[in-house]
Amino acid sequence: MTVRVERRDAVAVVTLDNPPLNLLTMALRAQLTELAGDLAHDDAVRAVVLAGAGGKAFSAGSDVREFPTDPEAGRERSRLEHRCYDALAGLPQPVVAALHGHVLGGGLELALACDLRVAEATARLGLPEVHLGVFPAGGGTQRLPRAVGAGRAKELMFLGATLDAAEAARIGLVNRVVDAGQARDAAIALAEQIAGRPAGAVRAIKTAVDSGLADGPRAGAETEGRLIAQVFGSYDAREGVAALLDKREPRFEHR
C-alpha cells in the first residue's frame, strides 16, 4: 500500500508513502480515491490531514513513466485523476494538507484539492508541466485560479514557475508557513482545533462555500438557507446558545 491512514481521535491522518518523492502513480491515486470514499461515510472523523512520508517531498507529482502517448489513453488518465482529486475535495470533512519539500505538478494539484494548506518554510510549490510539453490536467487549471486569481495562475502555469513557501503564502496559495520539519504536526494541531468545533456547522460551512464557488453566489445562498435550517434544529446549536446565555463553555456532541 502506498497510502497509509491512522486515526488520532476525530482526525484521520492520511500519508502518501511512495519513496523517495511520493510520486503519484495511477495505483496510488486509485488507493486514495477508495480511501476518500471510506472517510466520507465515517462520521467519527471530523477532520482529515494529508501528508507525505519522508523528508524530500509531499509529492513531486506524477510518475512520468506512466504518461500515455495515445489521445484516448490521455483522456482516460485525466478522468481518473479528476476522480481522485474530486473525491478528496468532495469529502464532507475539512482536509488540511501538510506540505514539505517538493510540492509539484500533480502533488500541488492534490494539495489544491484540500481545504487548507500548511507549508514548511523550505517547501517549493509549482505546476511545472509546461516544461514537459504538457499541462496540469488534474484540476490545476481550475483550482489554482480560484486560489490565487486567474492572471497569477496563468503566469505560473505558462512559465512552469516554482514558488517558495513565503511567496505562496503571500499570494494565498498556502494558509500558514511553519519551520522545517513542522508541517505535519502543525496540520494535525489545526485539524484537531477544527474537529473540536461542532461538526454540523463545520460541514455546512464547507458545503456552502464550495457550492458558491462551483455554481455561483445565488446557488451558494440557496445552499446556505437549506443548511442553516437544518443546523438551527441541531443539538449543538441549542447547546451553543444555551452556553452563551449561561456564560459557560459549550459541550458540543457533534449532533
Query: Which entry of 66, 76, 81, 129 is annotated as an active-site residue?
Result: 129
Q: Measured on CA atoms in the order 221, 230, 193, 36, is the torsion positive or negative?
A: negative
Residues 6+ apart with CB under 8 A from 212: 219, 220, 221, 223
Q: Is 249 a catalytic residue?
A: no
Neighbours of 129 (CB within 10 A): 22
Single-letter residue type at 4: R
Query: Which entry of 109, 192, 222, 239 is annotated as an active-site residue?
Result: 109
Cα separation values, 17 from 43, 97, 113, 158, Å:
25, 15, 18, 30
Q: Is 109 a catalytic residue?
A: yes
CB 50 within 8 A of CB 114: yes
All three cell numbers of 121: 518554510
- β-strands 95-99, 102-104 pairing: unpaired
Q: Coil, helix or strand for 183?
A: helix
The residues that are catalytic are 109, 129
